């Protein structure tokens, strides 16, 4: 084996191992019921019925599937009404169609279990791609990249949505593919990759359109900046045509500009009712923090290591001076949509659903930041810090294991788990997190305290990064960009 092929071989091995771990961690969740009524719950039956209709009938009309109670094998309880009956008797689920199309062969040939298995396989692909992206494009050491991605996909919410029949995981994969294109050479291959990923996002769900727009804008800016004006114009034209096709198809199939037009609820509230009939945007501002630290529905409540996202993002402009907007901009837009546009963060689903789309970018930010810390911290301090991080991560992985074990025995369901009392460290942590569903005086105090903690983490990370980091020359390869960290006082 030559010296040039050995690193590639090691990278391939780690990618395969982490991808397999992610797929298995997700697949283990298939045995946990969605609700007491069955293994698929809330919106999942709608996607499964739509996929079955695509496979058997070649269309999205699920009226015959509903009439025949085809969801009985995975949802024994009565399905909640989501569709309105049209004058011709047809019923189309108020969800964008790409997930149903992707899962149609699996549902048609293997039912709901096969559909969830396909999503678990996609989780494996996403995890492997993140390892590659961290190592080859962001200069994260291979062992660290593998460990960070493995932890993220062996805990909530990525492990959970690796088998939940929602568009979140496929959308996260599309976002990651777009970032691969944005951080690579801006040739024709990258353009095609970027366009496919961006166009796919709104077809998975229209709520992903803002993130898609940011990714597209970043690509167009890069093309224009590099003097590829003709390519930028052609890409803009393709995106314009794609947007027109989206609107025309939705008007024809769903009866409106979005999939929500076919929903029962939206017949009175209108398509924008999905945002809320009288939204309190000032009140929704607490979600910016709540999505991270809410007692039941925050990311930290189920995997404390998600706290590292805050210092990771704060340090990013100094650690990746050329590329930080590629990660930060879509993540920020996705987070703001989840905060101010989504109807609620406390729904009948597993916590973190609204931000799964952009969590892979957060994973990359954490990996880059830990790379920096490993270079600048002195040995004893480095050991203590990384030991603390490992403890946080281990608690989150253990929490996911508890959910799986409890779910397999019938003690909890995916929808009901946030209401259950968690054991050990997770219970202790959740006791000091604010409950944003019932904000009393104590919870407001906890909210203020966590805001200060998060500001402190961000400020400390930014100061450390600004003091210690020197970036590689601007002539570094776009394909294999590397960071050079100084070791001022480091050992």
* Low-confidence winner among 51-55, 295-299, 312-316, 346-350 (lowest mean pLDDT): 346-350
Higher confidence at residue 186 or residue 351? 351
pLDDT at 475: 32
Q: Is the pLDDT of residue 2 over 60?
A: no
pLDDT at 382: 84
Write the pLDDT tens digit of every residue in 415-456. 888 887 777 777 888 889 999 888 889 999 999 999 999 999
pLDDT at 479: 39
Q: How many residues does the chain have?
A: 491
Contacts 24+ apart (CB under 8 A), 342-347: 342/207, 342/275, 343/274, 343/275, 343/276, 345/287, 345/290, 345/291, 345/294, 345/297, 345/436, 346/294, 346/296, 346/297, 346/436, 346/437, 347/42
Q: Is the pLDDT of residue 241 over 60?
A: yes
Q: Is the pLDDT of residue 486 over 60?
A: no
Write the pLDDT tens digit of every residue in 455-464. 999 999 999 8
Q: Tell me the sheet residues that pair with 263.
A: 83
Higher confidence at residue 191 or residue 277? 191
pLDDT at 78: 79
pLDDT at 99: 97
Map tokens 């942590």 to a residue.
429
472 pLDDT band, cuts 50/70/90, is very low
Percent of the chain with pLDDT over 70: 92
474 pLDDT band, cuts 50/70/90, is very low
Write a three-state SS string for the chain. Answer: CCCCHHHHHHHHHHHHHHHHHHHHHHHHHHHCCCECCECCCCCHHHHHHHHHHHHHHCCCECHHHHHCCCCCCCCCCCCCCCECCCCCCCCECCCCCHHHHHHHHHHHHHHHHHHHHHHHHHHHHHHHHHHHHHHHHHCCCHHHHHHHHHHHHCCCCHHHHCCCCCCHHHHHHHHHHHHHHHCCCCCHHHHHHHHHHHHHHHHHCHHHHHHHHHHHHHHHHHHHHCCCHHHHHHHHHHHHHHHHHHHHHHHHHHCCCCHHHHECCHHHHCHHHHHCCCCCHHHHCCHHHHHHHCCCCCCCCCCHHHHHHHHHHHHHHHHCCCCHHHHHHHHHHHHHHHHHHCCCCCCCCCCCHHHHHHHHHHHHHHHHHHHHHHHHCCHHHHHHHHHHHHHHHHHHHHHHHHHHHHHHCCCCCCCCHHHCCCCHHHHHHHCCCCCCCCCCHHHHHHHHHHHHHHHHHHHHHHHHHHHHEECCCCCCCCCCCCCEECCCCCC
410 pLDDT band, cuts 50/70/90, is confident
For residues 417 and 350, the answer to whether their CB atoms sit within 8 Å is: yes
pLDDT at 3: 56
Ranked by mean pLDDT, which of 149-153, 181-185, 460-464 comes out on top?
A: 149-153
Cα–Cα distances (Å) from 337 to 205, 270, 296, 487, in that order, read 13, 19, 20, 39
pLDDT at 293: 94
Report how far residue 205's alpha carbon sits from residue 176's, in angstroms, rounded to the nearest whole number: 16
The pTM score is 0.91
Q: Where are the domains of the chain?
A: 5-272+279-416+423-485
Report the alpha-carbon angle 240-125-195, nearest 5.
10
Average pLDDT over residues 227-246: 88
For residues 182 and 218, the answer to whether their CB atoms sit within 8 Å is: yes
pLDDT at 482: 36
Higher confidence at residue 267 or residue 360? 360
Write the pLDDT tens digit of every residue in 9-49. 999 999 999 999 999 999 999 999 988 878 888 889 999 99
Cα–Cα distances (Å) from 331 to 45, 140, 184, 292, 368, in that order, read 29, 20, 19, 13, 15
189 pLDDT band, cuts 50/70/90, is confident
pLDDT at 231: 81
Percent of the chain with pLDDT over 90: 57
pLDDT at 271: 66
Write the pLDDT tens digit of every residue in 71-85. 888 888 778 888 888
Report how far residue 373's alpha carbon sits from residue 385's, in angstroms, rounded to the nearest whole number: 9
Higher confidence at residue 407 or residue 1? 407
| Mean of the per-residue pLDDT values of the chain | 87
């Amino acid at each position: 084996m030559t010296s040039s092929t050995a690193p590639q071989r090691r990278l391939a091995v780690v990618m395969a191992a982490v991808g397999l771990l992610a797929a298995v961690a997700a697949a283990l969740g298939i045995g946990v019921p969605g609700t007491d009524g069955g293994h698929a719950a809330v919106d999942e039956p709608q996607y499964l019925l739509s996929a079955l209709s695509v496979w058997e009938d070649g269309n999205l009309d699920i009226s015959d599937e509903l009439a025949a109670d085809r969801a009985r094998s995975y949802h024994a309880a009565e399905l909640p009404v989501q569709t309105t009956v049209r004058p011709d008797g047809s019923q189309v689920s108020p969800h964008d169609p790409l997930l149903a199309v992707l899962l149609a062969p699996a549902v048609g040939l293997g039912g709901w279990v096969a559909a969830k298995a396909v999503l678990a396989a996609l989780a494996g692909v996403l995890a492997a791609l993140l390892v590659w992206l961290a190592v080859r494009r962001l200069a994260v050491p291979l062992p660290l990249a593998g460990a960070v991605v493995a932890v993220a996909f062996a805990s909530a919410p990525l492990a959970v949505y690796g088998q939940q029949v929602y568009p979140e995981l496929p959308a996260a994969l599309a976002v990651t593919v777009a970032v691969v294109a944005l951080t690579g050479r801006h040739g024709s291959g990258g353009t095609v990759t970027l366009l496919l990923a961006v166009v796919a996002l709104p077809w998975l769900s229209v709520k992903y359109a803002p993130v898609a727009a940011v990714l597209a804008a970043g690509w167009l800016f890069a093309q224009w900046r590099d003097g590829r004006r003709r390519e930028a114009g052609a890409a803009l034209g393709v995106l314009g045509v794609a947007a027109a096709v989206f609107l025309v198809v939705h008007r024809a199939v769903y009866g409106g500009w979005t999939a929500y037009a076919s929903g029962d609820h939206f017949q009175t509230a209108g398509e924008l009712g999905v945002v809320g009939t009288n939204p309190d945007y000032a009140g929704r501002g607490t979600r910016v923090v709540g999505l991270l630290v809410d007692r039941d529905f925050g990311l930290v409540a189920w995997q404390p290591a998600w706290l590292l996202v805050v210092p990771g993002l704060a340090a990013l402009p100094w650690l990746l001076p050329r590329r930080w907007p590629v990660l930060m901009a879509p993540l920020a837009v996705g987070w703001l949509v989840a905060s101010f546009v989504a109807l609620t963060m406390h729904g009948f689903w597993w916590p973190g659903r609204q931000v799964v789309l952009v969590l892979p970018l957060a994973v990359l930010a954490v990996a880059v930041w830990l790379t920096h810390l490993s270079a600048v911290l002195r040995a004893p301090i480095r050991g203590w810090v990384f030991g603390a991080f490992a403890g946080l991560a281990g608690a989150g992985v253990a929490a996911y294991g508890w959910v799986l074990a409890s779910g397999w025995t019938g003690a909890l369901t995916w929808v009901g788990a946030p209401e259950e009392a968690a054991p050990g460290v997770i219970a202790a942590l959740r006791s000091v997190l604010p409950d944003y569903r019932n904000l009393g005086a104590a919870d407001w105090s906890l909210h203020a305290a966590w805001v200060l903690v998060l500001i402190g983490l961000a400020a400390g990370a930014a100061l450390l990064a600004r003091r210690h980091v020197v970036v590689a020359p601007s002539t570094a390869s776009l394909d294999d960009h590397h960071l050079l960290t100084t070791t001022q006082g480091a050992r």
